[in-house]
Chain A
């Protein structure tokens, strides 16, 4: 037996058998959660650990001793003494057929990983089960909204497999209820309230639906616009530069260019959530208006490019002139509430260690 064993508070150890191995669990855990902890790698499609289990795709089926049909492990609670098999010839065949069925509804099986955080899940499973056949070619569910002119979210419902992760993340995580499900079966359709464009719905363009979609049916248009930028995509963990919530993000870069943002599922302040600013307002840093050289005002009254050396000299001279002529209380500094803490520390040290004054403030009063 191994870690995480809990007696459920009633003195009795909760244990079950997983593929012949005795394992402990916390009452309330699902069979899927227990299996994950014991690294069973059960395939899933409609599962997102942040959301209420849904039990729609049935890929996560397992066999439970005493029950005739396999059960969905993501919606089945672990029970004392339960005997579960996560892998067998029968299960694997079931899963393969299920995948082939979903794949048959699906047009584009090769999804660009820039599409979103989970966009490769479907394709990865198809490969793992070698399920890329045309066995069930035929009906496809959903119609696309290429006409939705929003610059952020691609809505290609031909790739939709009706896992409803987008609808659920929007409702459960974001609390926006911007999208919902219409019809059932092959007629299933994800839609906004009035079947219109997202901008006219309750959508806040938080991008959560993009990031949970396992097929790239919903995809990040801003990132995809850079899909032909050469180089490997690199991820760098940092924090959103906008509000005080401090959401963790992974910056996607190719070469020297930031090409997109992925929410950090383990971000301590956001657990995978972002808003429209954190998700999409990243490219100001590469904007052509960025200052790339110091500027010094010349005798003609205009600002001119200068070297650091000249600019620092000029600035030091100007500030010192004020201090020399009017005393150290004639110089005031303002620190930024947007820059890193080190900038603010340096600024206060500038007046305290440099001038011996407390003539400093930050921008919190306006």
Chain B
């Protein structure tokens, strides 16, 4: 997020796109509800009539996978109505002229054709955002889990850059990170293209620095992503070590993924439970859970916070860092002598620019959001206040692109996937917490009541849903939260492995899977 969570009740116009925030980031959503109570306007764009849509002043029910078209239509209106912040564009951006010319082609009427959203509503949303004193954008995986995820984000950035809605309280472009520490994992360098602190591995200066630090010559090129690695299993990739991820259930194309892991010579998994993925392993390490370990985690506003142990681990389970370093030592690797999480974290701070100004003791109260470049620096709750990290903000001339697969006679229905309030991911944790079953005991497929009738189904009956890759059996739930022709479910329950169906394509740049769009057929059992 460019802006802190504490800002969320401060905008006068809020634009939520591809975020089911009341269910996925409930406490963040309370900020938005407070802003609304103070009179802020809410624009919600989502294929499904989610709870946020109930609260919206204008709701844009776009067809799945048409975000870019919607954003281009909005940019067109903002440009046409003269709502561009020219001073901001002159001072802080480049390619602005080209972009303003580019968007002339994309009228709201054009966008309506593609998105299905009435042009008048696109106009209204654009006017509000364009006129906002403090306009803030919030998004999550509804924007990124597409083959055009990068373009979608660039489309949002374009809106921000043309209106100057950044660098001030209550504004910004704010992706909400899904998992508790997905931010921290990236910060720490668990990426094929970055050393810790997002230092590119292809930069000779960084190479030299880490070669000296780690005493090892490191590849000069980027590594490969997990998606690519899974494709190469059994071929170039012969062994894997997976920490705390139920890859088989959470990743797209389950059959492919399972086959990939089975084709390895050797698989090591560290986890809390014997997950579907751990069951395939040759060696399984038991790790300590939340509540049993000391450590740090970094939230969606880049705030570094301390985790503390309250109870002992079961049996001989050990913290992840201990397991990894023990294995490294056993393999003869150098530099893995640590006494505790504190030492590990302090080393990360030493080698990482953005964490350089803190250490284990300084993050005790969670007072710092990175970057904290030096000791005494107050941290950076708000990014891009005066300058952009990488110089000037660049407009991108994005275009609308179809999803990897589109509906046809055989697969005439759009499936989109997501999460629900009372469960988390593959339910390895929420599914094992008492009482959660009362709120959510089984998976269901949300279908518009008229489609339920037309497709010969009934509320509560069983349906078979198939894509080009597989089929699942799932219970039907009639609800107007789904629009006609689009159905919704989650990948939370093992008995409805919906990721057996997904996986039609990946964003070519980030290799994020297109989990939000998958053509399917839905028929009575």
Contacts and interface: CB of A to CB of B under 8 A. Distances in A.
Interface of A: 149-152, 172-175, 199, 204-206, 221-222, 234, 236-248, 251, 253, 256-258, 267-270, 273-278, 280-287, 289-297, 303, 308, 311-316, 318-323, 325-326, 329-366
A274 B26 CA distance: 8
Interface residues on B, range: 35 or more
Nearest to B257: A366
Contacts of B177: 243-244
Contact of A341 (B324, B345, B433): B345
B188 interface: yes
Contacts of B279: 303
Q: Which of A278, A293, A330 has the most CB of B within 10 A?
A: A330
B365 to A, nearest CB: 8
A341 to B, nearest CB: 4
Contacts of A267: 366
Contact of B26 (A206, A234, A290): A206
Majority SS of interface residues in chain A? mixed
Interface stretch (B58-66, B130-138, B400-408, B511-519): B511-519
B308 A237 contact: yes
5 contacts: A241-B289, A251-B310, A256-B311, A285-B290, A346-B325
A314 B284 CA distance: 10
A247 B318 CA distance: 25
B367 interface: yes
A292 B274 CA distance: 10
A318 B223 contact: no
Contacts of B513: 365-366
A-B complex: 9 closest residue pairs judged by Cβ atoms: A292-B315, A175-B33, A340-B295, A246-B299, A358-B223, A336-B244, A244-B177, A343-B320, A151-B435
Interface string B271-307: 1111000110111111101111101111111011111
A332 B30 contact: no
Contact of B282 (A240, A296, A352): A296
Contacts of B335: 349, 353
B264 to A, nearest CB: 8
Interface string B134-149: 0000000000000000
Given A238-B290, A238-B310, A353-B333, A284 B327 contact: no
B426 to A, nearest CB: 11
A349 B313 CA distance: 25
Q: Which of B224, B243, B284 has the most CB of A within 10 A?
A: B243
A224 to B, nearest CB: 12
Contact of B245 (A152, A172, A174, A363): A363
A362 B190 contact: yes
B299 A282 contact: no
A313 to B, nearest CB: 7
A64 B185 CA distance: 57
A345 B347 contact: yes
Given A322-B239, A364-B186, A340 B296 contact: yes
Given A236-B309, A338-B181, A348-B190, A311 B433 contact: no
Given A238-B310, A284-B272, A348-B195, 12 more contacts: A238-B308, A239-B366, A277-B421, A312-B326, A319-B268, A334-B242, A339-B243, A340-B341, A344-B188, A346-B328, A356-B219, A365-B510
